[in-house]
Amino acid sequence: MKLAVFVSDYRLNVDTLNRLNPAKLGIILVQNGVYHATLKENGALSSLLGKNADFYVLMDDLETRGLASKDIGSNVKIISYGDIVDLIFNDYEKTAWL
């Protein structure tokens, strides 16, 4: 199964994601979940970004929070609303919201 997971909260416990075992996992960071994509002061990444997955962050939610592409990890792709639709219809069979 190919699963896209929307993450909208920064206080996410990655235990839920650890129980998922899809053939392909995409994590789409939206709303306050975009903070997972940002680099911390010491250059460390969120533990969420250590997962074996494709990572996406919604550009509008980054900009709303005063963040830019220079603020995010290199393994995170910035996408638009249209890109989310394309991912759902073309790349992933199921979606979940955490």
What span, in angstroms and rounded, lies between the C-alpha atoms of 92 and 40? 30
Q: The whole model's pTM is what? A: 0.90
Q: What is the mean pLDDT of residues 77-97?
A: 95
pLDDT at 66 over 70: yes
What residue spans define the domains of the chain? 2-12+28-97
Provide the pLDDT confidence category of residue 3 given band limits of 50, 70 and 90: very high
Angle (nearest 5°) at CA 7 between 2 and 10 = 150
C-alpha span between 61 and 5 (Å, rounded): 16
Give the CATH superfamily of 2-12+28-97.
Answer: DsrEFH-like (3.40.1260.10)
**How do 76-79 and 94-97 pair as beta strands?**
unpaired
The strand ranges marked E within the chain are 2-7, 24-29, 54-58, 76-79, 94-97
What is the per-residue pLDDT across 10-29, written as a single tens digit (0 to 9) for each?
Answer: 876 667 777 888 999 999 99
